[in-house]
Structure 1
């Protein structure tokens, strides 16, 4: 894979990851159009490294706000640790359960079945995009109706916090998003927070805090998968170059970090301006495009 291809994928990932439109779906489609295999160990590791770049973008962008809200007092810090711990534990339980169910049903009887093998199936990504779009659209329209009615609640309160119930719902939905490319993690979790009564700003902060916490585990899982593939390919005519894969991933992470910072600034402005529902419309349109590409043989 050329350096230009890595840069293009990194920019797509960085711009889309932190917007509620499913970066994975966009990257997978781009890889398909480039003639690459999104389900290969090298490409899934690259995707995770791109996520690493955006993870650092999240930390840089939100650090001042997190410090103000989450580290302002001992009680605030304890509360966010408990909320993140409980939400992430629920994410793990739901995500692993779904992974096992899918591998034992869709891949029943197949050798070396892995959930990553689904990542290149556009016919599955299209409905996942549509589902995320509907969820975002409902949350966005509900927000507009609340504002029209003049019921402000804590919608403009930057220091508003979530309840444990809202955090758990967001963690559960994040677990559902893990195995499905196209079901936007950020879009689904922020919308879930909004639909359970949270203000947009704390839902956004918590969603990206969950992403930072879960990313290292995902990186480790994909690195293990790549190492197994490297070992299995050692005796074949086309061995996998581990060092080249890691170098490619590092390069992608740098570019996705830069693009991610730009995307975060845009996302925050759109959240504040009440245009959340438009991301839902975009996901529905993207779903139709992805399904069309599937019918064309991609």
Structure 2
């Protein structure tokens, strides 16, 4: 892998990981249409680490509060109910944990089939049309003003499970699922990014174990370039999406998803 390929793939990963346009679809379609080489497990581990760092950078204060509050309450089971009712940080940590339940179950039951779908670019292109439809439907929920709850968090977790398919945007599906349930858009976006952290950390850990078992040969320069590109573009994507969500323009991304999805279906035979 050359440094410029690493730069392109790193930028693509960082932007599409957070914008509601499906990073998995771009990876599948990019490999098919452009012949780009992602460099195996090693490169994936490093660029995912870059996106993790971008979340931690933007939400460092919120994440610090979540971790400290959880560590303070967790050893005291008798205080869990009271802490959930009175402390927002602990309540948010519980909601994030709830989202992992459907995600984990779906992966355990359907993981092999889901991985096979990544071998079919036309499937990814078709799922982009689904993502576009989800984004357009947010227009039906005008001015949502509510907050999250444990049940709403579970539904958002189900949406995250569907986003394991290439072409279904994780951020798009989870933010839309929250907005459909009358959750404030900015609150929905913040929760979507924060709930991604354990998912990406878990995926990075699994890929890191694969890397230890089967090391990939790739130069340090492409790894460094790709990681930095994913980190910088990830920060930009988070801030851009938050600004767009605040203005109620989330549906604008639907047109991009429709265009790329239809183009993929037309070009891929």
TM-score range, shorter chain: 0.7 to 0.9
Q: TM-score, normalised by structure 2?
A: 0.83
**Cα distance change on mapping 1:6 and 1:19 into 2, 3 Å:** same
Matched positions, count: 254
**Cα distance change on mapping 1:68 and 1:229 into 2, 3 Å:** closer
Contact 1:136 1:279 (C-alpha < 8 Å) held by counterparts = yes
**Cα distance change on mapping 1:222 and 1:274 into 2, 3 Å:** same
The aligned residue for residue 253 of structure 2 is 279
RMSD between superposed Cα atoms in Å = 2.7
1:169 correspondence with 2:155: yes
**Cα distance change on mapping 1:153 and 1:207 into 2, 3 Å:** closer
1:142 to 135, 140, 143: 140
Give matches, 1:57-136, under 5 Å: 57-64=54-61, 75-100=87-112, 102=113, 115=115, 117-136=116-135
1:96 CA displacement: 2.2
Distance 1:130 1:251 in 2: 32
Contact 1:70 1:80 (C-alpha < 8 Å) held by counterparts = no
Distance 2:108 2:207 in 1: 14
The aligned residue for residue 263 of structure 1 is 237
Give matches, 1:1-298, under 5 Å: 1-36=1-36, 42-64=39-61, 75-100=87-112, 102=113, 115=115, 117-139=116-138, 141-143=139-141, 146-147=142-143, 153-154=145-146, 161-178=147-164, 180-230=165-215, 240-241=216-217, 244=218, 248-295=222-269
Contact 1:44 1:222 (C-alpha < 8 Å) held by counterparts = yes
What residue ranges of structure 1 are gaps of 5+ in the alignment? 104-114, 155-160, 231-239
What residue ranges of structure 2 are gaps of 5+ in the alignment? 70-82
1:135 CA displacement: 1.1
Q: TM-score, normalised by structure 1?
A: 0.76
